[in-house]
Amino acid sequence: MSHNPIKLYRHPLSGHAHRVELLLSLLNLPSELVFVDLAKGAHKQPEFLALNSFGQVPVIDDNGSVLSDSNAILVYLAQKYDNGRWLPSEPLAAAKVQRWLSVAAGQIASGPATARLITVFGAPYNAEETIARSHALLKVMDQELSASPFLASTQPTLADVAGYTYIAHAPEGNVSLADYPHVRAWLARIEALPGFVPMQRTAIGLQSA
């Protein structure tokens, strides 16, 4: 079907924006990446605040439908352009995906994502606490992934798209993945999916070694 490219307002080092970029690619949807210069405060300018009043990337503009919040965008794209593969409609299966979207907005955001903000962006958080939170999360994820190839199902879903980026880039925030073989195997399974696109790596933290 003919479709104007979906505009994705993003920053190349934002894991939240990468989630959306990844799903657009996995769904093979034409997209146009619009660079938002976070370092220069472009996300706090009136023009961008008109797109997202919270002043955060990502934002999409899908032929006039403007939407922000990475997980909300994932749900929208899956419901509009997918056939139930990435977001199942059966209530229990859908709830299992939602559980991990909550983890992505909760424990992943306050753990690995924040740990990376400290090293990559110089954010003023307590590294020791943040790294400890990250390992508490990774222990749970490793245990769950020991019994299932993907987070919410035997097939990849939005749960995996939402969870992937900040876990894959956790070493940039000095969070080692060495003790979590099932998590590492899961990351490799996502990276092997047709249409996978990586996020730019930052040579910092453990990633600088």
Q: What is the pLDDT of residue 161?
A: 98
Domains of the chain: 6-81 (3.40.30.10), 91-208 (1.20.1050.10)
Give the pairing type, strands 31-35 and 59-62: unpaired
pTM: 0.94
Token pair belonging to 163: 């969870």
Q: What is the pLDDT of residue 7?
A: 97
Q: pLDDT per position in the chain (209 positions), as tens? A: 457 899 999 999 999 999 999 999 999 999 999 999 988 889 999 999 999 999 999 999 999 999 999 999 999 999 999 989 999 999 999 999 999 999 999 999 999 999 999 998 888 899 999 999 999 999 999 999 999 999 999 999 999 999 999 999 999 999 999 999 999 999 999 999 999 999 998 877 887 65
DSSP 135-190: HHHHHHHHHHHTT-SSSSSSS--HHHHHHHHHHHTGGGGT---TT-HHHHHHHHHH
Question: Rg of the chain over CA atoms, in angstroms?
Answer: 17
Q: What is the pLDDT of residue 209?
A: 55
